[in-house]
Each structure stands twice: as C-alpha cells, then as structure tokens.
Amino acid sequence: MDRTSAPSSTPDLKLHLKILAFCFFGAMVLSLIDRTDANWDLQNYHLYTPYAVLNGRLGRDYFVAGFQGYFNPAADLPYYITKFLLFPNSPMIVALLAGLPFGFLAFCTFNIARNLLPDGGYWVWCGTALIGITGSTCLSEVGTTYDDILIADFILLGLWMLLRARGIPTICFAGFVIGCAVGLKTTAVVFVPGFVVLGLILGINFKSLFVLAGAMAIGYIVSWGWWGLLLWQHFGNPYYPMLAALFPANSVPGLGVHDTRFYPKTLLAWVMYPFFWMGGHSFVVGEEPIRDPRFAMVYFSFAFVGLFALVRKYQRPERNLLATYVFFILGYVCWLLAFSIIRYAVPLEAISGVVIYALMRPVLSRRNNLIGLASLFVLLMIFTKPVGWGRIGYNKTLIEQPLPEIPHHSLVLLDGAPLGYVVPYLHADDSNFVNIFWIKPGVGELFNFQRQMKNQPKIEFLTNLPVDTLSVVRENQKLAMFGLAYNEKNCTPIKSPVQKTIRLCSVTAAQ
C-alpha cells in the first residue's frame, strides 16, 4: 500500500490493533529509557492514597499527604499494585507498563488526525500526531503517576468517537469516557463545555445532547462514585475535605486549595499567555522550568489565518475541523481561567500539531505541506524543553534499607512534605499517622487528636524538615501544643535518593 495514500475511512480491526501495538511498544521503550518515576506528587500522595485505601487506613490516618491524599485514587491503583504487589523487585517491568497510557495517547491522536485530515496520508497523520505528543508536558510525563496522560486518553478517545460517528451508541460511549475522565481527575471538567459546543457544531440534536450529558454523568458516577461513597461513610462528606461549608465536620482544617500561583499576572499575559512560557522559566505554567512553542504556534496560526482570510479567499473548514477548532479554543479558555497549569492541558497539547497543520494547510501548496510539516517538527523540537519531574535509576529504590522499626500500635506524627511515600515502606499497619501541620489550635480536630494520643502506648515523629537549630525550635513549638518535645539526638535517618533529611524521632513529654 502507498504510505501517502488514504486508506478506507473504516479500517479493519486488524489494522487498528497493529497501530495500537506499535504505539504501545514505542511508549514502553520510551518509558523504560526515562527510568523510575520519583516526582514530588508521587512522594506526596500517588503512592500513599492507594496504600491507605487497600489497607483500611481511610479515617485512621489524618492528612498524611495533605488534602491531596483524599483525591480519588482509582487512577493510581494500577501503578501501586504493579509496583508493590505484582513486581516489587522488577522496576524495569513497572516502568515498561507505566508507559502504556502514553501509547494510547499516541493512538488516539493519530486517529483524530486521520479523521480530520482524511486525504493527508500516513506521513501527515503520523507527523501531526508526533508534533503534539512530543510537547514538553506530554513527553516529560511518560511513565509518571501524574495521571494527566491517562486523563487525556479518556478525553481524546471521547473526541475521536464524536468526530467519527453521530449515532446514539457512539454518543453514549463518548459521553461515558468523558465522564470517567472527570471522575478520575476533576481538572478534566474544563473540557466539558467544549464537548457540548462541539456536539452542537457537529449537528447533534438536543435529544442526543441530553444523552451525551447523561452518559457523562454515568461515567462520572462509575469512576468517582465508589470513592465518594467511602468518603461519605468515613467523614459524612463525599468530597472530603472540600465543600466543608456544605458538609461541616470538626476534622476539616481551613482549606484554601485553589492554586492561583500560575495565573497570568498582567492583562497582556492573560491575552498572550502561550508566548510567556516560551522562555524556559519556572513558575509560569508549572513549578518546573518549561519551554514549549506549540500553544504559541496554534495562537499564531489562528491569527495568521484570520488575517489571510481578510485579503484572500480562505477555504472554509469542514464541520469536523470547525468543531475541533472551537473545542480547542474553549478548552484553552476554560483551562486558563480555571488553572493555568500546563499539566492539565495535555489533551490540547496532544492535538496541537493536528490543529496547526489543518489551519495552515490551505495557505500552503500541496507540494510544500510535507516539507512544511517536517520543518515545523524540527523547529519545535529545537525550542522544546521537557519538564524535569524527577526520576531515579533502576538500581535505586525510593526508600532504602535498613528502616527503623516502629513499635506496634504507635502514633506517628508527621511534619513536612512530601512524606506520604515513606508510610507504605514502614510496614506499620497497626499504627496511626497524623500530620500535625494540618492540626490548628482551637478547632475540633485538636481535641480529637489529644483523645487519640492518650490511647497510644508509643509516639514517634516523622519529618523531613531541615536539620538546623531554627527548624528544631519551630518543630518543638508545634509539638508543645500536645505536650510533646523531641531531640535530634533521638532521630534515626531514613535514606532516600530523592530526599536527604527524612528521619524518625522519638518524642518525650515537654518539660
């Protein structure tokens, strides 16, 4: 078959499976090269929360991983089970399997390109997909537990299905996977308005739109409902610790969890934000330095085509393309207003290459399309700086042996972050872990904690804060709320390749 010719619009299952297998293989190899994930969020809650659920710790521990420790762990359970239960001594196998979501992202992006550019041929479909999935965020999250790629899988699968067919079964399936994405990670809700408008542009009638909305609701309930029920049983709040005003509880500290650190700081930045994260600086759209021109290129393409259409005749995009353009714009605007955190825009980054090429193609001659596509890919890769989230080699483990023993039925106080990943390694299943950072004087959880403390025969203190005089004084001031104190002489280091100051300390009654 000619690689540049378009195959039939409904390729057989065997061809789909071959493409999917190729995507999976490439993603697994890439994940293996990237080594073991050790990002900050993994150290905080991506390991602790599934451990807590599987070991009945929900309601026993208190804010070990902060408020993030109460997020739906469904997306993290496969990684935890693979790492700790199935292949605890085979980190390379864990890394290989962790690459699978990226493979499916590539598969969905390729098929979206195939649908939107039916006459493009394999080189165009592969090239436009490759431009998107090699973005700084997509590429850097391969094999990680951030789950943004996994959520993008659901979002782009829903987009592909809606572009592919308009029948009720397809609409139901698309709505279901979109709802699952929102249930797994609430940040995906920013794409829901775009899907609604996309449906209208595609000519889906209002009855079918209600079906789409209903399927989204079912998907949300399936992926999140079990977790909401658990939170309700333990805390009387299905969104604990959020929405405390609707579900009052003594155990909820005051939370201001909406992260506004990465919002644009000026009016110009709000309007031209994609150009601001081309400089490779940290704390622009994420904690780590990032440089990626893809969103700026999409911005430029829309502006260029708009100006081009004013002076020359521009071919009107067909319905699927128009709907995708609007979906991208609405998704970006909702993302910008809600978060401005680049990790949550992975679905848009993945299809950015398709959007750029589709916009610019009518302006270029057919002969120059492939040359322009190849040149664009090279240019983007030169300027792209993937984010460094943190990795360790296969000869290392997150927590190294030997570990200090915790007496049975102890109460372990924590201060500092991230420390959640330490807990599964301590094998202290009959002990309780309480993060004193989240306990504030004069509120109900302090008194509940004090009552719990009287029933614990032994109290330990786990911290990763700096080992200096000022830090010790501050820690003892916190412990003094509970009539406790500690001395660095009574601390045992816990070795970790990603942190150097973790230690377990014995506490005594304050003098």
The residues with which 51 forms a beta bridge, in sequence order, are none
Cα separation, 144 vs 127, in Å, equals: 24
Beta carbons within 8 Å of 196's beta carbon, 6+ residues apart: 209, 212, 213
Would you give the distance in Å from CA 144 to the centre of its chain? 9
Cα separation, 345 vs 387, in Å, equals: 14
Segment 254-258 mean pLDDT:
64
Cα separation, 317 vs 345, in Å, equals: 24
Segment 454-472 mean pLDDT:
85
Q: Which two tokens stand for residue 295?
A: 């969103």
Cα separation, 102 vs 139, in Å, equals: 9
Instruction: Identify which of 95, 52, 96, 114 has the alpha carbon closest to the alpha carbon of residue 77.
Output: 52
Which of 2-16, 52-66, 91-105, 311-325 has the largest mean confidence?
Answer: 91-105
Q: Percentage of the chain with pLDDT > 90?
A: 71
Whether the per-residue pLDDT at 131 is higher than 60: the answer is yes
The pLDDT assigned to 251 comes to: 63
Give the type of residue at 509: A
Q: Percentage of the chain with pLDDT > 70?
A: 92
> Model confidence at 217, in pLDDT bands (50, 70, 90)?
very high
> Model confidence at 93, in pLDDT bands (50, 70, 90)?
very high
- Burial of residue 419 (CB within 10 Å: 0-12, 13-18, 19+) is buried
Whether the per-residue pLDDT at 429 is higher than 50: the answer is yes
Whether the per-residue pLDDT at 346 is higher than 50: the answer is yes
Angle formed at CA 109 by CA 108 and CA 112, multiple of 5 degrees: 85
CA dihedral sign, ordered 70, 74, 75, 80:
positive
Helices 122-133 and 100-116: crossing angle in degrees, nearest 10, is 130
Per-residue pLDDT tens over the stretch 262-280? 999 999 999 999 999 888 7
Greatest extent of the chain over all pairs of C-alpha atoms, in Å = 84
Per-residue pLDDT tens over the stretch 7-49? 444 557 889 999 999 999 999 999 999 999 999 999 999 999 9
Give the type of residue at 37: D
Whether the per-residue pLDDT at 445 is higher than 80: the answer is no
Segment 399-424 mean pLDDT:
94
> Residues 467, 424: contact at Cβ < 8 Å?
no
- What are the structural domain ranges in the chain? 13-383, 410-509
Q: Please state, as a whole number, how many other Cβ atoms lie within 10 Å of the Cβ of residue 123.
A: 14
The pLDDT assigned to 253 comes to: 65
> Residues 399, 499: contact at Cβ < 8 Å?
no
Whether the per-residue pLDDT at 302 is higher than 70: the answer is yes
Q: What is the mean pLDDT of the chain?
A: 90
Give the type of residue at 116: L
Per-residue pLDDT tens over the stretch 165-175? 889 999 999 99
> Model confidence at 342, in pLDDT bands (50, 70, 90)?
very high
Segment 282-288 mean pLDDT:
83
Radius of gyration of the chain measured on its C-alpha atoms: 25
The pLDDT assigned to 6 comes to: 42
Helix (H, G, I), strand (E, B) or coil at 301: helix
Q: Please state, as a whole number, how many other Cβ atoms lie within 10 Å of the Cβ of residue 85.
A: 9
Would you give the distance in Å from CA 136 to the centre of its chain? 14
The residues with which 251 forms a beta bridge, in sequence order, are none
Segment 256-260 mean pLDDT:
71
Segment 440-447 mean pLDDT:
59
Does the N-terminal peptide bond of residue 253 adopt cis geometry, omega within 30 degrees of 0? no
The pLDDT assigned to 177 comes to: 99
What is the tally of helices (H) and strands (E) in the chain?
A: 20, 7
Helices (H), 428-498: 444-454, 469-479
What secondary structure does DSSP assign to 323-370, as a single string? HHHHHHHHHHHHHHHHT--GGGGHHHHHHHHHHHHHHHGGGS-HHHHH
Q: Would you give the end-to-end CA distance of the chain in angstroms?
A: 83
Beta carbons within 8 Å of 369's beta carbon, 6+ residues apart: 124, 357, 361
> Residues 69, 63: contact at Cβ < 8 Å?
yes
If you search the block for the tokens 């080594």, which residue do you land on? 35
Helix (H, G, I), strand (E, B) or coil at 486: strand
